[in-house]
Amino acid sequence: MTVTIHDVANLAKVSISTVSRAFTTPDLVKPETRNRILAAAGELGYQPTGGPRKPTNRTGHIGIIVSDLDNPFFTGVLNGVQARARQDDVAVLFANSDQDPVVEENLARNMAKQVDGLVLCSPSMSDDQIRDLARQTFVVLLNREIDGIPSVVMDSPGGMHQAIQHLAALGHKRCAFLGGPRNSWANAARLSGLRPAAEQHDIEVVEFGPFPPRFEGGLQGADLALAAGVTAIITYNDLVAFGVLARLNARGVPVPDEISLVGFDDLVFAAISAPPLTTVAMPAEAAGRTAVNVLLALLDDDHRVQINQSLDTYLIVRATTAPPR
């Protein structure tokens, strides 16, 4: 595994900008701090190769790349990003990768030349690609975790546990999970909460997918779940849940009388769907604010801000869940 500037910073217990200064402008770093950094670099075998440096002439711009701007979840993230950046008079450049890792990498490398740092929201690039990008500019991950890279995540496993606990309390014993994209970090995080929670509450879960994380994914998955004889369906996100609702309605299957349904995200439409959707609320706007807060702290060498943060999720019970017949 390639050793990065983040690994050195973690071992030396300093910020990545301090590590960068220790190699580029050592006279600006206290001798004892510089010696600790050099010792950490020697222990890890780190060789500086032009990693991220605190900009001497700040552009006053940060960038954010989202994976699917058609998904209202990312609109919430962008609202939070812009609100927090505005507090420091920082401009935000944003781009949409449309869930294409090649497009995403090209966007990130081009944007890195124009901004002081990047927020990558639900990125689909590989770990190695992101680590390489983090050597060129300051990067904060949102809804993704990679060792040594600053990140803000939402507690998907905890939210999924709440969903299973709710269904178990209603008396459900056999549920379906309609999963998201195959290589999605968020999908893996949801499953990491779903499987142990189902075992704990003695619920059998039938997993289907991958499905596109959109309305069409729910249309595809609903028939499979019905054929499996489940009494409840949990979906990767609310958009998939809306597709399930539409398909069940078309087949004359009443929700929740015949089958219960739980979404994930708590989009604005969840409260006004017919019937209103039980879902796990993901704090998208708060996550956007926090990601910018972390990025600005990195740029300002502010040690008061924790660079890896997890935000709570919570279940909102509405009208799509009920005891099984």
* 50, pLDDT greater than 80: no
The confidence score (pLDDT) of residue 25 equals 62
* 2, pLDDT greater than 70: no
**Confidence grade of residue 30 (pLDDT, cut at 50, 70, 90):** confident
Question: Can you read off the two tokens belonging to residue 211?
Answer: 């499905």
Contact between 9 and 19 (Cβ < 8 Å): yes
Mean pLDDT of 233-237: 98
Q: Measured between alpha carbons, how far is 324 from 56 in angstroms, rounded to an integer? A: 63
Selection from 67-71, 128-132, 239-243 with the highest mean pLDDT = 239-243
The confidence score (pLDDT) of residue 53 equals 53
Average pLDDT, the chain: 91
* 208, pLDDT greater than 60: yes
* 239, pLDDT greater than 70: yes
The confidence score (pLDDT) of residue 33 equals 84
Of 32-46, 64-78, 281-295, where does mean pLDDT reach its minimum? 32-46
Mean pLDDT of 236-257: 98
Of 49-53, 57-61, 138-142, where does mean pLDDT reach its minimum? 49-53
* 298, pLDDT greater than 70: yes
Q: Measured between alpha carbons, how far is 56 from 207 in angstroms, rounded to an integer? A: 51
Domains of the chain plus CATH, in order, are 5-44 (no CATH), 61-152+284-311 (3.40.50.2300), 156-282 (3.40.50.2300)
Contact between 74 and 64 (Cβ < 8 Å): no
Q: Measured between alpha carbons, how far is 161 from 163 in angstroms, rounded to an integer? A: 5
Cβ count near 325 (within 10 Å): 8
Q: Measured between alpha carbons, how far is 306 from 284 in angstroms, rounded to an integer? A: 19
Contact between 121 and 66 (Cβ < 8 Å): yes
Degrees to nearest 5, angle at CA 71 with 192 and 92 = 105
Please state, in angstroms and as integers, the Cα–Cα distance from residue 186 to each residue in 1, 220, 282, following that order: 23, 20, 12
**Confidence grade of residue 36 (pLDDT, cut at 50, 70, 90):** confident
**Amino acid at position 156, single letter:** S
The confidence score (pLDDT) of residue 45 equals 75
Q: Measured between alpha carbons, how far is 93 from 111 in angstroms, rounded to an integer? A: 8
- 3-class secondary-structure state, position 124: coil
- pLDDT cut 70: percent of the chain above it: 94
Mean pLDDT of 290-316: 91
* 60, pLDDT greater than 80: yes
Contact between 54 and 24 (Cβ < 8 Å): no
Taking the model in full, what pTM does it have?
Answer: 0.82
The confidence score (pLDDT) of residue 44 equals 82
